Amino acid sequence: MTARILVVDDIEANVRLLEAKLASEYYEVLTASDGPTALAVAAAEKPDIILLDVMMPGMDGFSVCRRLKDDAETRHIPVVLVTALDGRGDRVAGLESGADEFLTKPIDDMMLFARVRSLTRLKAVIDELREREASGRRMGVIAGAHVRLGGAGGRILVVDDHIRQAQRVAAELSVEHRPVVETEPDKALLTAKGAVDLIILNTAARGFDGLRLAAQIRSDEQTRNVPVIAVVDFDERPKVMKALEIGVNDILARPIDPQELAARARTQIRRKRYTDYLRDNLDQSLELAVTDQLTGLHNRRYMQGRLEALARRAAAGGEPVGCLVIDIDHFKKINDSFGHEVGDEVLREFAVRLASNVRAIDLPVRYGGEEFVVVMPDTSLDVAQRIAERIRLHVAGSPFRVLGGEELLSVTISIGVAATAGADDTPQAMLRRADAAMYEAKSQGRNRVIARAA
Instruction: Give the Cα separation of 364 and 400 in Å (integer).
Output: 20
Mean of the per-residue pLDDT values of the chain? 88
* Interval 177-201 mean pLDDT: 94
CATH topology assigned to domain 1-144? Rossmann fold (3.40.50)
| Percent of the chain residues past pLDDT 70, beyond the cut | 93
Q: What is the pLDDT of residue 417?
A: 97
Identify residue 324 by its one-letter amino acid code: L
Q: What is the pLDDT of residue 148?
A: 56
**Tens of pLDDT, residues 354-385:** 999 999 899 999 999 999 999 999 999 999 99
Q: Above 60 in pLDDT, residue 197?
A: yes
Neighbours of 330 (CB within 10 A): 15
Contact 80, 103 (CB under 8 A): yes
Instruction: Give the Cα separation of 106 and 233 in Å (integer).
Output: 20
**Tens of pLDDT, residues 83-99:** 876 666 777 788 888 88
pTM: predicted TM-score of the whole model, two decimal places: 0.61
Decide which of 3.30.1330.10, 3.40.50.720, 3.40.50.2300, 1.10.10.60 is the CATH code for 147-283.
Answer: 3.40.50.2300
Q: Is 155 exposed, middle or buried (0-12, 13-18, 19+ CB in 10 A)?
A: middle
* Interval 335-346 mean pLDDT: 92
| β-strand partners of 419 | 322
Among residues 324, 357, 329, which one has the least CA distance to residue 452? 324
Top-confidence residue, 269 or 422: 269
Among residues 336, 339, 315, which one has the least CA distance to residue 429? 315
* Interval 102-118 mean pLDDT: 83
Q: Above 80 in pLDDT, residue 130?
A: no
Among residues 117, 69, 115, 113, which one has the least CA distance to residue 95? 69
Contact 366, 372 (CB under 8 A): yes
Contact 303, 375 (CB under 8 A): yes
List the catalytic residues: 370
Q: Where in the chain is the domain with CATH 3.30.70.270?
A: 300-451
**Tens of pLDDT, residues 29-73:** 999 999 999 999 999 999 999 999 998 988 999 999 999 999 988
**Tens of pLDDT, residues 286-318:** 666 678 889 989 999 889 888 998 988 988 888
Instruction: Give the Cα separation of 264 and 268 in Å (integer).
Output: 6
**Residue 350 binned pLDDT confidence (cut-offs 50, 70, 90):** very high
Q: What is the pLDDT of residue 385?
A: 96
Q: How far apart are the first and last CA of the chain?
A: 55
Identify the DSSP state of 107: P
- The CB-side HSE value for 152 (13 A sphere, CA atoms) comes to 5
Q: Where in the chain is the domain with CATH 3.40.50.2300?
A: 1-144, 147-283
Give the 3-state secondary structure of residue 112.
helix
Q: Above 90 in pLDDT, residue 189?
A: yes
**Tens of pLDDT, residues 132-177:** 666 655 544 445 444 556 788 999 999 999 999 999 999 999 999 9
**Residue 233 binned pLDDT confidence (cut-offs 50, 70, 90):** confident
Contact 346, 338 (CB under 8 A): no
* Interval 6-18 mean pLDDT: 93
Decide which of 3.80.10.10, 3.30.830.10, 3.30.70.270, 3.40.190.10 is the CATH code for 300-451.
Answer: 3.30.70.270
Q: What is the pLDDT of residue 141?
A: 46
